[in-house]
Structures are given as C-alpha cells and as structure tokens.
C-alpha cells in the first residue's frame, strides 16, 4: 500500500468519513521547511469543520500516534509537513528494485489503439534539422504511449507526388546528364535535393529576366516557362504517362534508400508507411462524392471547393481546375485508408505549428463528409527549430542537412571526450561506439528537453557539453553508476533491511522520492504529449544523484548494510535513467 493510500485510510478513520485519494494532496516538502512530505489540508476542511491550522495539527497528531512510519510533524499555515521513517523509504526502494520494468504499464490485448503520424517527408530533398525534431518527437511520443499501456502504430506518410517532386524531376531531365547516386557517390536524397535547388535557381533567374522586360512579378510567374513545364509534368504524371512515371519511380527509389539510412542513424522506425501517390486517388474520389452530395461546390473553371466560412474559416481548394489534387485531398484519402486498415481509437498527427490551420480544415472536412473520426483527430502542434543564425530554406539550399548534422555531432562528441580524457584506455571500437551514443544523445536530448510547443534554437556546441542540462551529462552519470556497480562486490539481488537497522539521510530519501515520481512523470508526459517532462525529470534525478555521490561514500562506506543500501539506490537511479532515456529514443553507455 502506498503512502497516499495509508494516509487516506488513517484520515478516513479519524474523521469517521471516507475521503478520496484525490483529496490526499501530498507533495515534497520545500527545502526551507523540516519534513519529507507536505499534506495540503484545505481539501479536508469540509469534514474537519475547523480552520486549516487546527485541521493540520489534529491530523498530524493522529498520524503520529497511529501510523508507525510518521516520526514527526510540523504545521506551517495549514500545510502539514511530515517526517517519514527510514524504514518506509527503504521499503519503497525495495519495491522499486524488485520491479524489473519500473514505471512501465503492461499493454493489454484490448488496450486502446493510438496511431501516430510523424516524419512526412517530401521526396524532392533530404531530411533536415526540422525533420529531426519531428522524427524525434514522434518516435518518443510513441514510446511514451506504449509505456502507459496503449497499443501504438507508428506511421509515416511520404509526400511522393506533386509539383515539388516534378521540379526535381524536370531539373534532372534537363541538366542531369544521366547521373545517379552510384555514378556520383552521393546519397540519393541528396542528389535529388540538388536538382530541386537547381530548379529554384533557374526559376528565379527566369522571373528576374521577365521583370527586366517590364512584367510585374505576378505576370512573370504566370509566364515562367520552366514552371509551366513542371505543371505539365505533374499533369502527365496524374494521367499515367509512362515516361514520366518511370522517371518518378527511379528518382523516388533513390530518395527512399537515402531516407532509410537517415532513419536508421537516428534510431527511428515505422510500423506502416503510406504514400501520397496511392492515397490521393482515394481522396479525389471522396471529394467528388462530396461534390455530388452538395457538401462541396465547383467553380466555373472546374475547380472544387469547400465553403467553411460558417465555421469561422474560409473557402478551401480541394481539386484544381485541371483536376489535380492538393495536400488536403491526399490527407482525406490517407485518413480513410488508415481507419479502414486499423481499429484506431485515437489519431495523432505530429506536424509543425505552421500547419495548424490545415488540420483545423481537415478535421472539419472529414466531419462534413460524415466520418465519425473527423472531430477526434489530434494535431500535435510543435514549434519550429532554428539555428543561432536563423531560419532555414530548403529551396535555397540553406537547410541544415540531417546526415551532416548527425556526423558533426558524433565527431564533436569524439573530440570533446578526448579533450576531457573520458576515452583514455578505450579501444578504437569502443571510442566509435561511445562517440556515436554521446553525439546522438546530445542531439536528441537537446531537442527533446524543450517544451515541444515552443520554437527553439538548436546550438550544437551547447548540446555536447558534459556539464549542465545535456544528454552527455546524464549519460556520464549513468556510466559512473555502472562503473560503481562493476567495482562493487555486494550482492544486489537481496532485499534490503527495513526494520530500522539503518538510518538514511535526507539526500538519500530525496533520491527515493525522485524515483517514486517516475511512473507519474511518464503518465503526465503521455497526457500532455511532452517528452520534455521526462527529459527534465531525468536531468534533475541525475543532478541529485551526482550531489549525493559527491557528498557520501558508497563503496567506501564502512557500515555494510548502509553500503549495500547505497549500492542498490545507485543501481535503481541507473535503471530509471536508462528507462527514461529509452522513452526518448536515447541510448546510454556502460562506459564513458
């Protein structure tokens, strides 16, 4: 029975009236006051019929006289501060130690099914820093949802068709001279991205030339020959033109191979991948059905629209005049396919906040089309990630490439570790492994520790620091614990004594309290869609442990029982760090 339940029963007995667990509001006592836990007595005033201070005093007196785990109490303005015995905390640590997958809720066969969509790349360019935040958030959220007992399906929708794809294809057709990833030694997504940038440069050159001839920007854009060619290529693609489709398949295959390498390096994966080239057809058919039913309307040029003005939005294009589809069309089709494929209870889209309006529209359209799942869609809207230098632009080739960033982080971790002497005595194989774990840990942690709804600036140099709120600092704490355990000759699988044989200090009790909070932190992270809660909890735990390790001997402790307690405490701090980091998709090294 946990402490809250013990106190609930005691108070119910004292006042002769049942109270709920929600009324037992326990929190850590503030450092400036004596005690381990503080009971907020305001929820008890209705049954005590006394003022807060009187209620706190009589409750504290009853607990002291009737509950052996309460050693002292004091009252500060209606807050009851309780000092809890060492035996209780040791007993609690025993429970944590005996729970192999501590903090993780097993998933039942009939648990609700959550589908998360993340990544959603375009096949005209490689993944960049923005994609990294998306993938890390999506993967971490899926692991957190599993940890609280949901069944989870991780999906990716690949935007493999559209005008942006045709830009890369057209540029390669004009200036590629038949080059391939194999002939150039370049990853396929990088090669395709080069041609996307090349198209944009030519397009801008053409626009500027037309403007020098007296055309307005709008007229110049309409007269652009290269853009007209790209649009014609898209029309041919949708019409099934064999040559266009063959070129499209070839270049997309290059990109998929490149994406797979990047996903593997990041440590993210998917259970199901959907392709816009397949789902847009379903979307077009659904829109046409909606047009026939009068849900949508057609303009004189043949384009199909939805009027959402009554819902506080505006009119939304669903099909262009030439019959080609837009993003929202594909998303309608993808939604239909997913709900046919899986018995989804909750659909979560992990997409940046610049698409907030898009998902408002999607939810409304699906609802108007009669789909029960329309209103239940969740857009997990996260903030943009920038560099200290500012925003990135794909078409101008000024993005931070994901592959380059991963390589840079690993190299920086290697150099920093050497400078600090943390790789002395390691083999080259160990050095490579540790550098990869630390480099990726720095990258992932720096991104995930930030409230996902906020915009952020990613600073590679700050992220790799071995001090402060960084991945390497926490990884080093874990490695330190593993080193301690290797040096220990103690038997760690024995139950610790909790009969009052040893007295533990407030710092040790504080660490057990931190460990006790872990399951609730995971639940809060799942409810709030926030890996940052877990990231910052693990940092605080690691910081608290390092202070303890600095101030108190572990292996050098002369009292054998106290030494064994501290070893078990250290082991469980390491266990929670490892589990917490696994929910963020971050590895921890046994040596560092």
Dist. CA 302–CA 217, nearest whole Å: 26
- What is the structure's pLDDT at 496? 63
Q: Is residue 262 assigned to a domain?
A: yes
Has residue 393 been placed in a domain? Answer: no
Same domain, 128 and 273: yes
Least confident range from 129-133, 420-424, 453-457, 501-505: namely 420-424
Query: Is there a domain that residue 397 lies in?
Result: no
SS3 label, residue 35: coil
Burial (CB < 10 A; 0-12, 13-18, 19+), residue 22, is exposed
| C-alpha span between 204 and 180 (Å, rounded) | 26
Q: Is the dihedral of CA 241, 246, 251, 256 positive or negative?
A: positive
Residue 525 resides in a domain: yes
Count CB neighbours of 288 within 10 A. Answer: 14
Q: Same domain for 350 and 225?
A: yes
> 70: which strand partners?
84
Check if the beta carbon of residue 591 is closer than 8 Å to that of residue 483.
yes
In this predicted model, which residue has the larger pLDDT, 393 or 351? 351
> What is the pLDDT at residue 219?
93
Which residues lie closer than 8 Å to 390 by C-beta, 6 or more apart? Answer: none
Apex 446 CA angle, 440 and 451, nearest 5? 135
Structure tokens at 509: 């009790």
- The answer to whether the Cα torsion of 590, 423, 427, 437 is positive or negative is positive
* Rounded CA separation 307/295 (Å): 9
Looking at per-residue pLDDT, the higher value among 31 and 151 belongs to 151
- pLDDT at residue 184, as a whole number: 97
* pLDDT score of 397: 45
Task: Using the structure block, give the residue that is written with the tokens 């009052």.
Answer: 500
Q: What is the pLDDT of residues 463-483, one digit of tens each?
A: 888 788 999 999 999 999 999
Distance CA 219, CA 545 (A): 66
- Of 356, 386, 416, at which residue does a domain stop? 386
Q: Is the pLDDT of residue 395 over 50?
A: no
Angstrom distance (rounded) from CA 435 to CA 577: 19
Helix (H) or strand (E) run with residue 319 in it:
strand 315-319
Write out pLDDT tens, residues 347-363.
Answer: 999 999 999 999 999 99
What does the CA dihedral 480, 481, 483, 488 come to, rounded to 10 degrees? Answer: 150
Which of 414 and 584 is assigned the larger pLDDT? Answer: 584
Give 241's contacts (C-beta < 8 A, 6+ positions apart). Answer: none
- Which residues are CB-neighbours of 378 under 8 A, at least 6 positions away? 346, 347, 348, 349
Rg (CA), the chain: 30
Using the 3D structure, point to which of 335, 352, 386 is the last residue of a domain: 386
Residues of the domain holding 33: 3-84
Domain endpoint, select from 84, 99, 129: 84
Average pLDDT rounded to a whole number, residues 429-449: 94
| Torsion angle (degrees, nearest 10) of CA 216, 222, 223, 224 | 110
C-alpha span between 231 and 263 (Å, rounded): 31
Mean pLDDT of 253-275: 97
| 55 and 131 assigned to the same domain | no
Mean pLDDT for the stretch of residues 115-142: 95
* SS3 label, residue 305: strand
231: burial class by Cβ within 10 Å (0-12, 13-18, 19+)? middle
Q: List the 346-352 sheet strands across, edge first.
A: 272-275, 151-158, 113-117, 346-352, 378-382
Higher pLDDT, 226 or 44: 226
Q: Across residues 368-384, what is the average pLDDT? A: 91
Is 589 domain-assigned?
no
The answer on 134 and 47 residing in a single domain is: no
Same-domain pairing of 140 and 224: yes
pLDDT in tens, 37-67: 999 999 988 888 889 999 999 999 999 998 8
pLDDT exceeds 60 at position 398: no
| C-beta of residue 393 within 8 angstroms of C-beta of residue 430 | no
Of 325, 376, 379, 318, the closest CA to residue 350 belongs to: 379
Predicted local confidence at residue 234, as pLDDT: 92
b/e sequence 64-80, b meaning 16+ C-beta within 10 Å: eeebebbbebbbbebbb
Count of other CB atoms within 10 angstroms of residue 565: 25
CATH number for the domain that contains residue 17: 3.30.1360.70
What pLDDT score was predicted for residue 495? 60
424 and 358, same domain (yes or no)? no
**DSSP secondary structure letter of residue 41:** -
Looking at residue 324, its pLDDT comes to 81
Is the per-residue pLDDT at 462 higher than 70?
yes
**How far apart are alpha carbons 338 and 156 in whole angstroms?**
11
pLDDT tens per residue, range 176-192: 999 999 999 999 999 99
Q: What pLDDT band is residue 389 in, cutting at 50, 70 and 90?
A: low
Tell me the sheet residues that pair with 401. 128
Same domain, 378 and 413: no
The answer on pLDDT for 32 being more than 60 is: yes
Does residue 590 form part of some domain? no
Q: For residues 264 and 262, give the distance between their C-alpha atoms in angstroms, rounded to a whole number.
A: 5
Domain count, the chain: 3
* Alpha-carbon span 172 to 179, nearest angstrom: 9
Tell whether 296 is covered by a domain: yes
State the greatest distance between any 2 C-alpha atoms of the chain, in Å, as a whole number: 94
Q: Are strands 79-84 and 113-117 parallel, antiparallel or unpaired?
A: unpaired
| Distance (Å) of CA 195 to CA 173, 180, 511 | 10, 12, 55
Same domain, 407 and 287: no
Q: Give the C-alpha separation, 544 to 217, whole Å.
A: 60
Residue 507 lies in a domain: yes
393 pLDDT more than 70: no
Can you tell me the distance from the alpha carbon of 209 to that of 265, in angstroms, rounded to the nearest whole number? 43
Neighbours of 402 (CB within 10 A): 23
Share above pLDDT 90 across residues of the chain, in percent, rounded to a whole number: 75
* Mean pLDDT computed over every residue of the chain: 91
pLDDT tier at 394, thresholds 50, 70, 90: very low
Q: Are residues 420 and 376 in the same domain?
A: no
- What CATH number is attached to the domain comprising 408? 1.10.730.10
Give Cα 77 distance to the centre of its chain: 40
413 and 378 in a single domain? The answer is no
Question: Do 458 and 371 reside in the same domain of the chain?
Answer: no
Domain check: are 135 and 236 in the same one? yes
Q: Which of 13-22, 266-275, 378-387, 494-503 has the lowest mean pLDDT?
A: 494-503
- Specify the 3-state DSSP secondary structure of 112: coil
Helices 327-341/356-368 angle, 10° precision: 60
3-state secondary structure 43-71: HHHHHHCCCHHHHHHHHHHHHHHHCCCEE
User: What is the structure's pLDDT at 336?
Assistant: 93
End-to-end CA distance of the chain: 39
Give the residues across from 258 on adjacent strands.
none
Q: How confident is the model at residue 459 (pLDDT cuts 50, 70, 90)?
A: confident
Report the range of poorest mean pLDDT among 377-381, 390-394, 586-590: 390-394
Report the distance separating Cα 352 and Cα 359, nearest Å: 11
Q: What is the CATH number of the domain that holds 300?
A: 3.40.50.620
């Amino acid at each position: 029975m946990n402490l809250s339940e013990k106190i609930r029963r005691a108070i119910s007995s004292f006042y002769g009236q049942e109270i709920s667990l929600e009324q037992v509001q326990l929190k850590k006592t503030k450092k400036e006051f004596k005690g381990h836990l503080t009971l907020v007595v305001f929820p008890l005033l209705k049954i005590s019929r006394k003022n807060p201070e009187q209620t706190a005093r009589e409750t504290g007196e009853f607990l002291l006289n009737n509950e052996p785990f309460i050693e002292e109490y004091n009252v500060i303005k209606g807050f009851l501060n309780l000092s809890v015995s060492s035996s209780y905390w040791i007993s609690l640590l025993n429970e944590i130690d005996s729970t192999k997958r501590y903090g993780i809720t097993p998933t039942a066969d009939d648990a609700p099914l959550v589908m998360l969509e993340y990544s959603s790349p375009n096949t005209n360019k490689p993944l960049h820093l923005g994609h990294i935040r998306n993938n890390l958030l999506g993967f971490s959220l899926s692991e957190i949802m599993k940890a609280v007992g949901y069944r989870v399906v991780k999906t990716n929708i690949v935007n493999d068709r559209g005008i942006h794809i045709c830009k890369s294809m057209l540029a390669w057709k004009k200036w590629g001279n038949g080059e391939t990833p194999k002939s150039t030694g370049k990853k396929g997504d990088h090669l395709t991205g080069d041609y996307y940038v090349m198209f944009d440069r030519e397009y801008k050159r053409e626009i500027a030339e037309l403007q020098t001839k007296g055309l307005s920007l709008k007229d110049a854009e309409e007269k652009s020959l290269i853009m007209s060619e790209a649009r014609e290529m898209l029309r041919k693609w949708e019409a099934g033109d064999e040559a266009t489709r063959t070129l499209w398949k070839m270049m997309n295959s290059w990109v998929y191979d490149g994406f797979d390498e990047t996903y593997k390096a990041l440590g993210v994966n998917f259970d199901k991948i959907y392709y816009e080239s397949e789902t847009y057809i379903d979307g077009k058919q659904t829109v046409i059905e909606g047009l026939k039913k009068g849900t949508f309307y057609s303009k004189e040029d043949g384009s199909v629209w939805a009027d959402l003005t009554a819902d506080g939005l505006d009119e939304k294009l669903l099909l262009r005049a030439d019959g080609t589809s837009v993003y929202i069309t594909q998303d309608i089709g993808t939604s239909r396919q997913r709900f046919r494929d899986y018995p989804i209870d909750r659909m979560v889209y992990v997409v940046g906040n610049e698409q907030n309006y898009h998902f408002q529209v999607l939810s409304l359209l699906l609802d108007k089309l009669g789909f029960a799942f329309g209103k239940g869609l969740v857009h997990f809207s996260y903030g943009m990630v920038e560099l200290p230098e500012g925003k990135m632009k794909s078409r101008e080739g000024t993005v931070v490439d994901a592959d380059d960033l991963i390589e840079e982080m690993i190299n920086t971790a290697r150099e920093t570790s050497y400078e600090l002497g943390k790789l002395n005595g390691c083999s080259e194989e160990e050095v490579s492994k540790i550098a990869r774990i630390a480099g990726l840990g720095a990258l992932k942690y720096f991104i995930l520790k930030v409230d996902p709804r906020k915009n952020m600036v990613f600073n590679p140099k700050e992220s790799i620091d071995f001090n402060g709120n960084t991945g390497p600092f926490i990884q080093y704490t874990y490695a330190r614990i593993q080193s301690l355990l290797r040096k220990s000759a103690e038997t760690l699988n024995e139950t610790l004594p909790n009969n009052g044989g040893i007295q533990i200090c407030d710092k040790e009790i504080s660490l057990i309290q931190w460990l006790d909070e872990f399951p609730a932190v995971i639940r809060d992270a799942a409810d709030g869609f926030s890996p940052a809660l877990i990231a910052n909890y693990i940092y605080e735990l690691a910081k608290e442990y390092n202070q303890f390790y600095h101030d108190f001997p572990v292996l050098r402790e002369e009292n054998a029982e106290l030494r064994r307690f501290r070893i078990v405490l250290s082991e469980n701090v390491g266990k929670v760090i490892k589990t917490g980091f696994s929910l963020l998709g971050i590895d921890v090294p046994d040596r560092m």
